[in-house]
């Protein structure tokens, strides 16, 4: 057996014993728990015969241990990843549990939706009534053209008019990509139309009775009497709307349907407003109407009055007299708005229309 005494400078000696077998296995003696610094050590042999002499002190140096930067970097990267994985797992577990709880409470395949998810004003919400027609009673025949909300079709409605098994109608649709507000405005237009009862204003049921709109090639001017008749029928329909405190806001030749016998009906009430209480309607969240058809009061003060329909009627007279030419030709939208707000108006055509009306 061997005895080893060693010490760090200025520290007391430490004592360790190493058996001969350990010495052979380790091929020497290994001292443990040594801190960095300069050491002195001496050795002696011990047997049954007694202790041998101590050797001369031998000095050795234990250096500072090198820091394992790779291990530190690994810990810095791995710990945040582990924390993130744990948090993600917890969130996913909470979502699954919440969905399971909701499905158990509501039942599989059942969807509960609010009738007013966008929180619109109650005055803007459409209320279903007895005018609703089941889809199975409507048959689409062919496309008539693109409307303000979507495609317009010619179709057949069964049992919507008393004593008529089938009624020929125009069916307006709304685009699938339309917003909730556009859908509500579409239904509100139907609500407005069902209140009308005038031969020259389309109603909710009779909108298709005048026949589909057709485009005829223009070869010559129609007879003056026919033009005056069409203007008078449009004026009759607008007078009916004004008497019932409605302002159309979008009167134009494109929104008037003409039957084969030249009977004219005013349609497209998507922008119509009731002005019963205040005699005018101030335009709010909606965009401005076309400046070519609005008067200066609408354009400048954004206030809609029945006189704005009078201005639009004058434009319709222009369209009739010119065979539906574009008003304010050669002018941009900004130029039209500036022209109208500055009091601009036609000259010779305006004089002729005033003479006819007087």
Q: What is the mean pLDDT of each run of 10 residues along the chain (358 residues)?
A: 83 83 81 82 85 86 71 80 93 88 59 52 55 79 76 82 80 81 75 71 50 38 80 88 80 80 76 45 40 50 66 84 78 81 67 58
What per-residue confidence (pLDDT) applies to 73? 75
What per-residue confidence (pLDDT) applies to 144? 77
Q: Is 214 annotated as a binding residue?
A: no
The number of beta carbons lying within 10 Å of the beta carbon of residue 167 is 16
H-only helix segments in the chain: 20-26, 69-106, 180-193, 224-243, 296-301, 306-321, 333-341, 348-357
What per-residue confidence (pLDDT) applies to 237? 87
What per-residue confidence (pLDDT) applies to 211? 37
Judge whether 302 and 283 are in contact, CB under 8 Å. yes
The residues that are catalytic are 250
What per-residue confidence (pLDDT) applies to 85? 93
CA 305/CA 298 separation, integer angstroms: 8
CA 321/CA 292 separation, integer angstroms: 16
Q: Which residue has the tokens 């009862």?
A: 197
CA 250/CA 317 separation, integer angstroms: 14
Burial class (CB in 10 A: 0-12, 13-18, 19+), 193: buried
Q: Is 294 annotated as a binding residue?
A: no
Ordered structural domains, the chain, with CATH: 2-62 (2.60.40.10), 124-357 (3.30.200.20)
Kindly give the pairing relationship between strand 58-62 and strand 37-47.
antiparallel
Strand partners, 18: 2
Positive or negative: CA dihedral 309, 310, 314, 316: positive
Q: Is 254 annotated as a binding residue?
A: yes
What per-residue confidence (pLDDT) applies to 287? 38
Q: Is the pTM of this model over 0.85?
A: no
What per-residue confidence (pLDDT) applies to 134? 78
Q: Is 172 annotated as a binding residue?
A: yes
């Amino acid at each position: 057996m061997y005895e080893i005494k060693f010490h760090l400078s200025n520290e007391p000696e430490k004592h360790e014993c190493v058996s001969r077998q350990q010495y052979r296995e380790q091929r020497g003696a290994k001292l443990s728990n040594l801190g960095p610094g300069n050491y002195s050590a001496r050795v002696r042999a011990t047997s049954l015969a007694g202790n041998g002499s101590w050797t001369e002190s031998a000095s050795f140096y234990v250096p500072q241990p090198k820091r394992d930067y790779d291990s530190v970097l690994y810990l810095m990267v791995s710990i945040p990843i582990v924390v993130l994985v744990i948090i993600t797992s917890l969130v996913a577990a909470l979502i699954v549990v919440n969905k399971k709880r909701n499905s158990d409470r509501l039942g599989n395949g059942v969807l509960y939706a609010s009738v007013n998810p966008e929180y619109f004003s109650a005055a803007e919400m459409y209320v279903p009534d007895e005018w609703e027609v089941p889809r199975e009673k409507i048959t689409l025949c062919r496309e008539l053209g693109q409307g303000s909300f979507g495609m317009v079709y010619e179709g057949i409605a069964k049992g919507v008019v008393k004593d008529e098994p089938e009624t020929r109608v125009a069916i307006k649709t709304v685009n699938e990509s339309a917003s909730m507000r556009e859908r509500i405005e579409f239904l509100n237009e139907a609500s407005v139309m069902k209140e009308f009862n005038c031969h020259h204003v389309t109603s909710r049921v009779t909108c298709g009775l005048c026949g589909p709109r057709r485009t005829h090639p223009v070869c010559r001017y129609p007879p003056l009497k026919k033009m005056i008749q069409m203007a008078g029928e449009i004026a009759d329909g607008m007078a009916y709307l004004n008497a019932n405190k409605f302002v159309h806001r979008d009167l134009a030749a494109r929104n008037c349907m003409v039957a084969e016998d030249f009977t004219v009906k005013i349609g497209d009430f998507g922008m119509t407003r009731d002005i019963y209480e205040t005699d005018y309607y101030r335009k709010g969240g909606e965009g401005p109407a076309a400046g070519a058809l609005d008067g200066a009061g609408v354009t400048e003060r954004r206030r809609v009055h029945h006189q704005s329909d009078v201005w639009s009627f004058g434009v319709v007279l222009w369209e009739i007299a010119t065979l539906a030419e574009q008003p304010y030709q050669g002018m941009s939208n900004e130029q039209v708005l500036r022209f109208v707000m500055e009091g601009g108006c036609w000259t010779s055509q305006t004089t002729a229309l005033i003479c006819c009306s007087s």
